[in-house]
Amino acid sequence: MLPRSTAGRVLLGAGALLLGAMPVFAQPYYVELGTYALISAMLALSLQLLVGCTGLVSLGHAAFYGLAAYTVYLITPANNGVSILITLPAAVAAAGLAALIVGALSLRTRGFFFLMVTLAFGQMVFFIFHDTKLGGGTDGAFLSRPLLSILDWELPLTRRQRPIATYYLSLGLLIAMYLSLVLILRSLFGRVLEGIRVNEHRMQALGFNTYRYKLAAFVIAGLLAGVAGHMWAMHRGFVNPELIGWHRSAEALLMILMGGLTTLHGPIIGALAFTGLGEFAQLITERKLLVEGLVILFVVLALPKGLSGIGMPRWMRRSPTTDGSARAAAEARTHG
Amino acid sequence: MDFPGLLAQLLNGFQHGLLLFLIASGLTLIFGVMGIINLAHGSLFMIGAYVAFLVTRQWGSLWLALPMAMIGGILLGSVLERGLFRYFYARDHLDQVLLTFALILLFEEGRSLLVGNEFYSVPIPPLLDFSVPVTSGFSYSAYRFTVIGICLALAALLFYWIERTKTGAVIRAAAEKPEMVDVLGIDARRVHMTVFAVGTTLALIAGALAAPLYSVYPNMGDGFLIISFVVVVIGGLGSVSGALWSALIIGLVDTLGKAYAPKVAGLAVYVLMAAVLIWRPSGLFGQRT
- Report the alpha-carbon distance of residue B255 to residue A157 in Å, rounded: 53
B97 shares contact with chain A (CB less than 8 Å) = yes
How close A13 gets to chain B, by Cα (Å)? 29
Count other Cβ atoms within 10 Å, centred on residue A211.
Answer: 15
Residue B270 lies in a domain: no
Cβ proximity of B37 and B96 under 8 Å: yes
Q: In the predicted model, what is the mean pLDDT of residues B23-40?
A: 90
Query: Best-predicted range by mean pLDDT among A95-104, B50-59, B137-146?
Result: A95-104
> What pLDDT does residue B51 have?
93
Q: How many residues does chain B have?
A: 289
Is B154 a member of any domain?
A: yes
pLDDT of residue A4: 66
Q: What is the rounded distance in angstroms from the CA atom of residue A173 to the CA atom of residue A323?
A: 29
**Tens-digit pLDDT profile for residues A300-315:** 888 766 666 655 544 4
- Please name the residue of chain B whose CA is at the shortest distance from the CA of residue A113: B233
Q: A59 and B97: CB-CB below 8 Å?
A: yes
Amino acid at A194: E
Which residues on chain B are in Cβ contact (under 8 Å) with A123?
226, 270
pLDDT, tens digit (0-9, with 9 covering 90-100), for B222-279:
889 989 989 988 888 778 888 999 999 999 999 998 888 877 777 888 888 888 888 8
The reply to whether residue A57 touches residue B282, judged by beta carbons under 8 angstroms, is no
Q: Residue B238: inside a domain, yes or no?
A: no
User: Are A35 and A232 in contact, with CB atoms under 8 Å apart?
Assistant: no
Of residues A127, A128, A287, nearest to B109 (C-beta):
A287
Domain that holds residue B59: 3-219
Q: Out of B104, B270, B277, whose CB is closest to A124? A: B270
Q: Distance (Å, rounded) from C-alpha A116 to C-alpha B31? A: 12
Q: How far apart are CA B193 and CA B188, in angstroms?
A: 9
**Per-residue model confidence (pLDDT) at position A334:** 44
What DSSP assignment string belongs to A37-56?
HHHHHHHHHHHHIIIIII--
The CA distance from A173 to A190, in Å, is 21
Residue in A59, A105, A289 nearest the CB of B274? A105
Distance from CA of B134 to the nearest CA of A (A): 35
The Cβ-side half-sphere exposure at A48, using a 13 Å CA radius, reads 31
Could you tell me how far CA A58 lies from the centroid of its own chain?
A: 12
Q: Do B102 and A293 touch (CB under 8 A)?
A: yes
pLDDT of residue A331: 45
Mean pLDDT, to the nearest integer, of B28-39?
88
Q: Contact A60/A187 with Cβ under 8 angstroms?
A: no
ipTM of the complex: 0.83
Is B8 among the domain residues?
A: yes
8 Å CB contact of B97 and A120:
no
Q: Which amino acid is at A290?
A: L
Of A121, A296, A299, nearest to B270 by CB-CB distance is: A121
Can you say whether the dihedral through the CA atoms of B213, B219, B224, B227 is positive or negative?
A: negative
Which residues in chain B have Cβ-Cβ distances shorter than 8 Å to A287? 109, 112-113
Element of type H or E holding A150: strand A149-150
Q: State mean pLDDT over B34-43.
A: 90
Structural domain includes residue B93 = yes
What's A138's DSSP letter? Answer: G
pLDDT at position A309 = 60
Tell me B140's DSSP state.
E
Classify residue B265: in a domain, yes or no: no
| CB contact at 8 A, A288 and A282 | yes
Q: What is the DSSP letter of A322?
A: T
SS3 B287: coil
Q: Which residues of A touch B38 (CB under 8 A)?
A: none
- A-chain residues within 8 Å CB-CB of B112? 287
* Residues A116/A117/A122/A127 CA torsion (nearest 10 deg): 100
**Cα A262–chain centre separation:** 15
Sequence-ordered strand ranges (E) for chain B: 131-135, 138-141
- The verdict on a CB contact (< 8 Å) between A299 and B98 is yes
Contact indicator for A258, A278 with CB cutoff of 8 Å:
no
Residue of A nearest to B233 (CA): A113
> What local confidence, expressed as pLDDT, does residue B131 receive?
83
Domain boundaries, chain A: 29-151+158-245
Please give the single-letter amino acid code of residue A263.
T
Q: Could you give the CA distance from residue B39 to residue A180 in angstroms, rounded to a whole number? A: 34
Beta-strand ranges (E) seen in B81-170 are: 131-135, 138-141
Per DSSP bridges, beta strands B138-141 and B131-135 are antiparallel
Contact predicate B65/B284, CB 8 Å: no
Whether B95 and A306 have beta carbons less than 8 Å apart is answered as no
Give the rounded distance of the alpha carbon of A111 from its chain centre.
Answer: 21
Q: Do A296 and B31 touch (CB under 8 A)?
A: no
Confirm whether B268 is domain-assigned: no
Residues of A in contact with B264 (CB under 8 A): none
Q: Give the gap in angstroms from C-alpha B175 to the nearest C-alpha of chain A.
A: 15
Q: How many Cα atoms occupy the beta-carbon half-sphere of A149 within 13 Å?
A: 15
Which DSSP state fits B239?
A: -
Radius of gyration (C-alpha) of chain A in whole angstroms: 20
Residue of A93 and B177 predicted with greater confidence: A93
Q: B165: which residues sit within 8 A by CB, 6+ positions away?
A: none
Contacts of B86 in chain A (CB under 8 A): none
Residue closest to A211 by CA, chosen among B43, B281, B154, B198: B281
* Cβ–Cβ below 8 Å for B94 and A57: yes
Chain B interface mutation, best of A53, A100, A112, highest count of B Cβ atoms under 10 Å: A112
Per the CB < 8 Å rule, is A290 touching B106? yes
Tell me the average pLDDT of chain A: 85
Q: B198 — contact with chain A (CB < 8 Å)?
A: no
**Nearest one of B109, B84, B110 to B99, comparing CA atoms:** B84
Round to whole Å and give the CA distance between A69 and A88.
Answer: 10
Nearest-by-CA chain A residue for B267: A124
Cβ separation of B105 and A124 shorter than 8 Å? no
Decide if B259 is inside a domain.
Answer: no
Closest CA to A99 of A132, A63, A70, A135: A63
Q: Angle, to 10 degrees, between the axis of helix A28-48 and the axis of helix A161-186?
A: 20
Residues B202-225: tens digit of each pLDDT: 999 999 999 999 989 988 988 899
- Write down the pLDDT at residue B21: 96
Q: Is B117 on the interface with A (CB under 8 A)?
A: no
The parts of chain A modelled with pLDDT lower than 70 are 1-4, 304-336
- Cα Rg of chain B (Å, integer): 19
DSSP state of A240: -
The residues near B222 (Cβ < 8 Å, ≥ 6 apart) are A246, B42, B104
* Chain A neighbors of B218, CB-CB under 8 A: none
Burial of A230 (0-12, 13-18, 19+ CB in 10 A): buried
Pairing, β A238-239 against β A153-154: unpaired
Cβ atoms of A127 and A121 closer than 8 Å: no
User: If interface means Cβ-Cβ distance under 8 Å, which residues of chain A face chain B?
Assistant: 51, 57, 59, 105-106, 108-109, 111-113, 115-117, 119-121, 123-124, 127-128, 130-132, 246, 250, 253-254, 256-257, 261, 287, 289-290, 292-294, 296-297, 299-300, 304
